[in-house]
Amino acid sequence: MIEPYQPEPGQEFPYRYTARLAGHLELGWQRAWKDAQAYRVANPGQAGFDSARPKFYCLDMFPYPSGAGLHVGHPEGYTATDIISRYKRMCGFNVLHPMGWDAFGLPAEQYAIQTGVHPAITTRAAIDNFRRQLQRFGFSYDWSREFGTIDEAYYRWTQWIFLRIYSAWYDDRAGRARPIAELVDMLEQGERRAEDDAASGGVAWKAMDAKQKRAFLDSKRLAYLGEQTVNWCPKLGTALANEEVIDGRSERGGYPVFRKPLKQWMFRITAYAERLLADLALVDWPESTRTMQAEWIGRSEGAEIDFPFVDGHFSPGQGTKLGVAGRSEAPSHASQAPLASLRVFTTRPDTIFGATFMVVAPEHRLVEHVLREKPKGMTDEAHARLREYVAAARNRSDVERQESKDKSGAALGIDVINPATGKRIPVWTADYVLIGYGHGAIMAVPAHDERDFAFAQANGLAIRDVVYPRHLAAMAFFAREAKPEQRVAERWAADLADFVGLVTSDNVAPGAFAEALETTRARRAAEGGGTAIPVDLRERGGSDATPGSVGERRGSTRIVWLDAIDDMKLHTFSDVENLFGNGGFQTHQGEAYAGQGYAVNSASAELSIDGMATEDAKQAVIRWLESSGKGKRVVNYRLRDWLFSRQRYWGEPFPLVFDSEGNHHAVSESALPVRLPELADYQPIESEDPKPLLAKATSWSRTTAAEAGVAPTPGLPALAPDAPVTRELNTMPGWAGSCWYYLRYCDPENRERFIGAEAERYWLGERGVDLYVGGAEHAVLHLLYARFWHKVLFDLGEVSSREPFAKLFHQGLITSMAFQRSDKSLVAIDEVDERPGEINADGTGAYVERATGQVVTQVIAKMSKSLKNVINPDDVIADFGADTFRLYEMAMGPLEASKPWNTRDIAGCFRFLQRLWRNLVDENTGLARVVEGQADDTTRRLLHRTIKGVRQDIESLGFNTAISKLIEFNNHLSKLEAVPSEVARMLIPLLSPFVPHLAEELWIRVFGPGGPFVAHMSYPEHREDVLVEAQIELPVQVQGKVRGRIVVPAAATPADVEAAALSDERVREWLAGKAVAKVIVIPKRMVNVVVKDA
Nearer to RNA, 517 or 612 (CB): 612
CB of 933 to RNA, least distance (A): 22
Measuring CA to CA, which residue among 380, 311, 305 is closest to residue 340?
311
What DSSP state is assigned to residue 1085?
T
Check whether the bond before 894 is cis (ω within 30° of 0): no
* Cα(1022)–Cα(1002) distance, integer angstroms: 21
Does residue 302 touch RNA according to CB under 7 A?
Answer: yes
The three-state DSSP-derived secondary structure of 829-860 is HHHEEECHHHCCCCCCCCEEECCCCCEEEEEE
Query: Does the protein bind RNA through residue 295 (CB under 7 A)?
Result: yes
Q: Is 659 exposed, middle or buried (0-12, 13-18, 19+ CB in 10 A)?
A: middle
Q: Does 440 bind RNA (CB under 7 A)?
A: yes
Residues of this chain, 361-400, that bind RNA according to CB under 7 A: 361
Distance CA 974, CA 918 (A): 9
User: Among 10, 528, 629, 843, which residue interacts with RNA (rule: CB under 7 A)?
Assistant: 843
* 572 binds RNA, rule: CB under 7 A: yes
Binding of residue 960 to RNA (CB under 7 A): yes
DSSP state at residue 764: T
Alpha helix (H) residue ranges in 221-331: 273-278, 287-297
| Angstrom distance (rounded) from CA 750 to CA 46 | 13
**414 contact partners, CB below 8 Å, separation of at least 6:** 309, 310, 311, 314, 366, 370, 375, 426, 427
Interface of this chain with RNA, residues 34 to 63, rule: CB under 7 A: none
Chain positions 768 to 797 lying near RNA, rule: CB under 7 A, are 776-777, 779-780
What kind and span of H or E run contains 90?
Answer: helix 73-90
The piece of 197-205, 210-218, 221-229, 296-304 that touches RNA (CB under 7 A) is 296-304
Q: Which is nearer to RNA, 267 or 650 (CB)?
A: 267
Spatial separation of the C-alpha atoms in residues 681 and 114, rounded to whole Å: 10
Is 348 an interacting residue with respect to RNA (CB under 7 A)? yes
Q: Quick check: helix, strand or coil at residue 467?
A: strand
- Looking at the Cβ atoms of 106 and 535, the one nearer to RNA is 535
User: Binding to RNA (CB under 7 A): which residues in 991-1050?
Assistant: 1033, 1035, 1037, 1039-1043, 1045
Query: Which positions from 552 to 571 touch RNA by CB under 7 A, shown as an x/- string?
Result: --xxxx-------------x
What is the contact mask toward RNA in residues 232 to 251, using x (rule: CB under 7 A)?
--------------xx----
492 is a contact residue toward RNA (CB under 7 A): no
- Label the pairing between strands 341-346 and 299-308: antiparallel
Which of 345, 499, 585, 593: binder of RNA (CB under 7 A)?
345
Q: Does residue number 820 form part of the binding site for RNA (CB under 7 A)?
A: no
Among the residue ranges 307-315, 650-658, 899-907, 976-984, the one whose residues contact RNA (CB under 7 A): 899-907
Does residue 531 interact with RNA by CB under 7 A? no
| Cβ–Cβ < 8 Å for 869, 818 | yes
Binding RNA (rule: CB under 7 A), the pick from 496, 657, 796, 967 is 967
Report the C-alpha gap between 640 and 784 in whole angstroms: 12
CB 235, min distance to RNA, A:
19
Stretch that binds RNA, among 45-53, 98-106, 137-145, 1080-1088 (CB under 7 A): 1080-1088
Report the DSSP beta bridge partners of residue 921.
Answer: 928
Question: What amino acid occupies position 378?
Answer: M
Type of residue numbered 260: K
Which residues are CB-contacts of 835 (< 8 A; sequence separation ≥ 6)? 845, 846, 847, 848
Q: Which is nearer to RNA, 689 or 842 (CB)?
A: 842
Closest CB to RNA among residues 479, 892 = 892
Query: If binding is defined by CB under 7 A, does position 914 make contact with RNA?
Result: yes
Q: Does 1058 bind RNA (CB under 7 A)?
A: no
Candidates 23, 45, 47, 27; CA nearest to 35 is: 27
Site string (407-436) toward RNA, x via CB under 7 A: x-----------------------xxxx-x
Cβ-Cβ contacts under 8 Å for 854 (sequence gap 6 or more): 821, 822, 848
Which is closer to RNA, CB of 246 or CB of 525?
Answer: 246
Question: Where in 5-24 is the site for RNA (CB under 7 A)?
Answer: none
Binding-site string for RNA from residue 821 to residue 840, where x marks contact by CB under 7 A and - marks none: ---------------x----
Minimum distance from residue 977 beta carbon to RNA (Å)? 13
Nearer to RNA, 30 or 914 (CB): 914
Give whichever of 843 and 1008 is closer to RNA, judged by the CB atom: 843
Torsion sign, CA atoms 623, 629, 631, 633: positive
Number of residues that bind RNA (CB under 7 A): 100
The answer to whether residue 922 forms part of the interface with RNA (CB under 7 A) is no
**Among residues 892, 950, 957, 984, the one that binds RNA under rule CB under 7 A:** 892
Shortest Å, Cβ 596 to RNA: 14
DSSP labels, 140-171 = ---GGG--BTTSHHHHHHHHHHHHHHHTEEEE
Instruction: Kindly state whether residue 735 participates in binding RNA, applying the rule CB under 7 A.
Output: no
Q: CA 979 to CA 916: how far, in whole Å?
A: 11
